[in-house]
Structure 1
Amino acid sequence: MFHGLSAFPLTPLKAGKFDERAFAGLLAPLVDAGVDSLGILGSTGSYAYLTPDERAYITRCAVEQAGDIPVMVSIGALRLEDILRLADDAQAAGASSVLMAPVSYQRLTADEVYALYERVTRQLSVPLCVYDNPATTGFEFSHALMRAVAALPNVGSVKCGRVPEDVAQLRASLPPSVTLGISGDWQAASALRAGFDVWYSVVAGLFPRTALAIARAADTAPSDRLAPLWALFRQYGSLRVMAAAAEMAGRVEAPALPFPLRAISGEPRERLAALIESLALA
């Protein structure tokens, strides 16, 4: 399942509680558009702000809604016991894979990160995507550590927060069965042209056909058109931007994000509205 376009939708809240109806409304267009997989409860899905019980229920809802499209579910958490429970819940719900970043309040060492993945992968019956997301976790994988973690049982993909200078060197360090994925939507077109296998996409969670056009293109032109949107992502964070887009489209109720997070407002929101109209995002 680790190929093509993986769409990461919001997890909409209503009065601080999971809005199942709005969530189903967000997933249906992704399924209809034919994205290659769904990434549920990632950073865009606000997983860190939800309880294990809420995450288990949301996972079941996503799998039911997804039909034949594979579902990947984040199991990241601070405590090992919660990670293992979330892994069990995801597998029991029928998730096709799980995603995990090395989340910690205290910044982890390389040995601690390896030990975490070694422990978790032993309990999995579905493949795991390793998420290198230093902007959020404060921890960045070295090539040596990524090579060691990728060689663990049940690892199926790595999700990189940036495009390395030498993609061929990184790929050569990974087992042949492990695919190479990119996040950070503004980097996706270049990464795919450089040989990445999968785009783990935020914009696809609301505008799947726009993202599919970028993912299927042989050049970067479709992505270059979205440069003003990518600039908003980099300045305010893609989560806040996409929440505002979903609110303006009436797809979710405002506020849709967990407190104290807020969708962009004021002049940036007005700029976003103009962009959505001018770019004919779909």
Structure 2
Amino acid sequence: MNLFGGLGAFPLTPVGPAGIDEDAFVGLVRRLVAGDVDMVCPLGSTGGYPYLTRAERARVARLAVDAADGIPVVIGIGALATREVLELSADAQAAGASAVLLAPVSYQPLTEDEVFGLYEDVTAELSVPLCVYDNPRTTQFTFTDELYGRVSRLPQVGSIKIPGVPDGTDAAAARVQRLRAVVPEHVTIGISCNPMAATGLLAGCDAWYSVVGGVLPEQALAITRAARAGDRNGALALSGALETVWELMRRHGSMRVASALAEELGLVGTPNLPRPLRALDADVRVELRDWVRSAGLVG
């Protein structure tokens, strides 16, 4: 079975005044293990990878693999320069990564040929599978279906992480079917947009690459399992119960909301985001705190 299936949970990398809070990070990973997620995905966007040094990222990778207790660990290796990506790829593999995750990070806008060249250079030196991370809001680059097809045929590519699907099961299913027509059969399709996850999974996506799964693994896993079992009403109802979280993510960004959720649950200290990022404003925190209490997540 392709390891890129089911729920991939993205933990925060808590950063305080003294640097990375290793104990809190390990606790987050162990929480995911206890929650029975299918993949642990450190150093994604939620993990704040662009704000960390190479040495910090190598340390986080090793901590994640050690704490994951045999669950596949998919480590983010995104960086501006290809030479940095190759160094991070080597570090991830040395740490014992099951796979790596790569977004086409850039400062100068990239062309399609440049993005293809990035994946071509990296996969040529990889000994583990790679997930292609399409995150246009962050990278300012949008994959075309043609580019999905080209990149997915490179060696070691095992999954494509798409940003979302259209609203409605029929439209979403049509979108997934169009992607299936251009990528090889062995390459899985995973959705990353949390509010659309249930719809995407019901439409045929193989995986959910989940921000909220890094903080609320039980809830995210319930959505994933219901959708993959074809329980449309159940999956949408479970997702609907998280609508307050989805709306806050739409307004304030998923990383800030994940950070605040982790704080409310007592999983991380304060502050925990790398500067210049700031925590949610107090009035927004009240809204989130009310939801956490109403959901029965704290006493």
Q: For this structure pair, what is the TM-score category when the shorter chain's length is used for normalisation?
A: over 0.9
Q: Give how far 1:140 is off.
A: 0.2
Are 1:264 and 2:284 counterparts? no
Q: Give how far 1:63 is off.
A: 0.2
Matching residue of 1:211: 220
Are 1:5 and 2:21 counterparts? no
AA in 2 matched with 1:251: L
Are 1:102 and 2:104 counterparts? yes
- Partner residue of 2:181 out of 165, 169, 172: 172
Structure 1 residues 224-268: Cα deviation after superposition (integer angstroms, max 9, x where no partner):
111121000010001001111112222111110000101212111
Structure 2: gaps (5+ residues)? none
- Partner residue of 1:234 out of 250, 264, 276: 250
Q: Give how far 1:76 is off.
A: 0.3
- Partner residue of 1:119 out of 121, 137, 154: 121
Structure 1: gaps (5+ residues)? none
Matching residue of 2:76: 74
Q: Are residues 224 and 242 of structure 1, via their aligned partners in 2, closer, same or farther at CA, if it must alter by over 3 Å?
A: same
CA distance in 1, matches of 2:121, 2:222: 39
CA distance in 2, matches of 1:272, 1:17: 26
Percent identity (aligned): 53
- Partner residue of 1:84 out of 83, 86, 92: 86
Matching residue of 1:254: 270
User: What is the root-mean-square deviation in Å for CA atoms of aligned residues?
Assistant: 1.1
Structure 1 residues 22-65: Cα deviation after superposition (integer angstroms, max 9, x where no partner):
11111111101110010110000000000111100110000000
CA distance in 1, matches of 2:39, 2:126: 19
CA distance in 1, matches of 2:282, 2:76: 32
Matching residue of 1:191: 200
Q: Contact 2:265–2:297 at 8 Å: present in 1 too?
A: no
Q: Contact 1:244–1:264 at 8 Å: present in 2 too?
A: yes
Q: Are residues 281 and 168 of structure 1, via their aligned partners in 2, closer, same or farther at CA, if it must alter by over 3 Å?
A: farther
How many residues align? The count is 282
Q: Contact 1:16–1:258 at 8 Å: present in 2 too?
A: no
- Correspondence 1:58-69 to 2 at 5 A: 58-69=60-71
CA distance in 1, matches of 2:18, 2:154: 38
Q: Contact 2:262–2:268 at 8 Å: present in 1 too?
A: yes
AA in 2 matched with 1:176: E
Q: SS state of the match for residue 250, structure 1?
A: coil
AA in 2 matched with 1:115: G
TM-score (structure 2 length as normaliser):
0.92
Matching residue of 1:34: 36
Q: Contact 1:210–1:281 at 8 Å: present in 2 too?
A: no
Moved over 6 A (4+): none
Structure 1 residues 74-125: Cα deviation after superposition (integer angstroms, max 9, x where no partner):
0000111110010011111110000000000011000110111111100100
Q: Are residues 280 and 171 of structure 1, via their aligned partners in 2, closer, same or farther at CA, if it must alter by over 3 Å?
A: farther
